[in-house]
Every structure is written in structure tokens, then in C-alpha cells.
């Protein structure tokens, strides 16, 4: 019903409106993770849209990771968190797009002198000041990841500017990263990380390092994360050229 109400078919680019409408439905949990979407045919009939339009809207959301398609079975709201690797998004944005409630618990939110290792990783001069964040990232009560971020104080002068989301704080300072390099590695979670993530020690995890940059090439963050392997899928579109 909500889909019908918000997918105004008179609009040009109806597929974009339908895409937005489906996203809203998922965010409001009108269709829960794991549940099926109405079939393409039913959607196109109910909304008075062509099958091509419906298919295009769904394809976009599959690419975003919000929906998954099982051959012959239909289209479902994704159960695992599917994160497209080619998009430079934040933890907060990824979760909100799925109707989940992102939250951080801080172990550390301070400022100090860069360590030689961090200075090398971020191409900073020895001795400059950096903000350090060490947090467990939650969806509601469920811990999903542990993150350690280092940000030059020249970009973010005060760690308390980060209330929950680092990228929101950077955005407010006009320093939202535009490009990033990311490394993913399979790990088995050690006792300490596993305890914080509420999984048995030795569970599968993904270690992710991200170095992100401003347009002018300055480094904004160096973040090491440990994501739960039982919840996250990282997907990418590949091209031959
Ligand atoms: C992801 C990235 C981190 C980045 C974080 C920002 O988790 N792996 O490199 O720092 O998003 O998220 P937020 O803005 O929610 O703090």
C-alpha cells in the first residue's frame, strides 16, 4: 500500500521514484529482511508501470545491496548487510539505508601525537596531532564491527566533534572524503574482538583498512576495522576494461 501511495507514476523517471518508494518501505520495515517483494508482474500491474520500469528500479536496489534476487524464487529484502565496495559510504549511511539504527560505543575519543607507524600509513610529518577514535559499531543492540580511526587534527581539530558518525563530522567541516583505498583480508577473530562482537572466539571476520582522501589529495582518515563475517557481504561490480 505504501508503495502505491508513494510511487507516483505520472512522474518522469518513474523507475527512480519507484526505487525511492521501495527504499522507504524497507527502511520502515514494512517488508522485513528475508521477506519477498511482490513479483515484477504484480508490481507493474498494481502501479501501472511497465515491466521494464519495475525491473530497472529493482536492478538498482540489487546493485545497492538492499535487495537480493534468487533465481526462480524472486526478489527479497537482503538479510545480510550487503555493502557495495565501489561506493565510499559510511557505516552510518549503510545501516540507515537498511532501516537499521547505527550506534557507536567509544573506547577512545582523543587527540594525541601521531605514532611513526600512523605517520607512515598516512603520509604525515612526524609529531603532528591526530584524533583517534576506537569504537564498537552497533545496529541497535547488535555489535557489527570494531573500528580504530586516525584523523589528522588539521582536518578534525577536536575529537568531540564526532558525536556518533565520523563522516557526518567531516561533512560538517567540509572535509568529507572523496576517494579511498581499501584492503580487505579474511581473519579469524581473536578472543578480545570476538567478545566485543558477541561471537565465539575464532569466528570468521573481515579485517578492513581504509585510507581516504580529500579532492586535493590530503589524507582524511586511516581506519582499521574488524567486521563480523557472519553478517557482512562485500560486493563489487567488475568490468573487463
Ligand atoms: C566505514 C569505514 C570506515 C569509516 C566509517 C565511517 O565503517 N570502514 O573507514 O571511518 O565507515 O562511518 P561513520 O560515519 O558511521 O563513523
pLDDT of residue 204: 96
Complex ipTM value: 0.99
Question: Which residues of the chain fall short of a pLDDT of 50?
Answer: none
Give the closest residue to 187 by CA, choosing from 225, 216, 157: 225
What string of DSSP letters covers 22-69? Answer: HHHHHHTTSS-TTPBPPPHHHHHHHHT--HHHHHHHHHHHHHHTSEEE
Of all protein residues, the one whose alpha carbon is nearest to atom 11 of ligand 1 is 90
Which numbered atom of ligand 1 lies nearest the CA of 212? 9
pLDDT of residue 79: 84
Q: Is 43 within 8 Å of 49 (Cβ atoms)? A: yes
Which of 177, 210, 212 to probe ligand 1 with, by most ligand atoms within 8 A of CB? 210
Its CATH class, for the domain covering 2-77, is mainly alpha
Q: Is 202 within 8 Å of 189 (Cβ atoms)? A: yes
pLDDT of residue 182: 95
| Domain ranges for the chain | 2-77, 81-235
pLDDT of residue 8: 54
User: Which residues have CB under 6 Å of ligand 1?
Assistant: 90-92, 147, 149, 165-168, 208, 210, 221, 223, 225
Give the closest residue to 226 by CA, choosing from 134, 96, 126: 134
pLDDT of residue 82: 84
Of the candidate CATH numbers 3.20.20.70, 3.40.1410.10, 2.60.120.20, 3.40.50.620, the domain formed by 81-235 belongs to 3.40.1410.10
Amino acid at each position: 500500500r505504501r508503495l502505491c501511495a508513494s510511487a507516483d507514476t505520472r512522474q518522469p523517471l518513474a523507475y527512480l521514484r519507484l526505487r525511492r518508494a521501495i527504499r522507504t518501505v524497507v527502511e520502515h520495515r514494512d517488508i522485513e529482511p528475508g521477506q519477498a517483494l511482490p513479483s515484477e508482474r504484480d508490481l507493474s500491474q498494481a502501479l501501472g508501470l511497465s515491466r521494464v520500469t519495475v525491473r530497472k528500479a529493482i536492478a538498482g536496489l540489487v546493485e545497492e545491496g538492499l535487495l537480493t534476487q534468487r533465481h526462480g524464487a524472486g526478489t527479497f529484502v537482503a538479510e545480510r548487510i550487503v555493502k557495495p565496495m565501489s561506493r565510499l559510504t559510511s557505516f552510518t549511511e549503510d545501516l540507515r539505508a537498511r532501516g537499521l539504527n547505527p550506534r557507536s560505543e567509544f573506547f577512545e575519543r582523543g587527540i594525541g601525537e601521531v605514532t611513526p607507524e600512523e605517520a607512515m600509513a598516512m603520509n604525515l610529518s612526524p609529531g603532528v596531532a591526530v584524533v583517534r577514535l576506537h569504537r564498537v559499531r552497533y545496529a541497535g543492540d547488535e555489535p557489527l564491527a570494531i573500528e580504530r580511526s586516525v584523523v589528522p587534527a588539521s582536518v578534525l581539530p577536536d575529537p568531540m566533534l564526532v558525536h556518533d558518525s565520523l563522516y557526518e563530522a567531516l561533512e560538517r567541516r567540509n572535509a568529507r572524503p572523496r576517494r579511498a583505498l581499501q584492503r580487505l583480508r579474511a581473519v579469524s577473530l581473536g578472543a578480545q574482538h570476538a567478545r566485543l562482537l558477541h561471537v565465539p572466539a575464532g569466528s570468521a571476520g573481515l579485517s578492513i583498512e581504509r585510507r581516504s582522501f580529500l579532492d586535493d589529495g590530503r589524507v582524511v582518515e586511516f581506519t582499521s576495522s574488524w567486521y563480523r563475517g557472519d553478517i557482512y557481504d562485500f560486493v563489487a561490480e567488475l568490468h573487463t576494461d
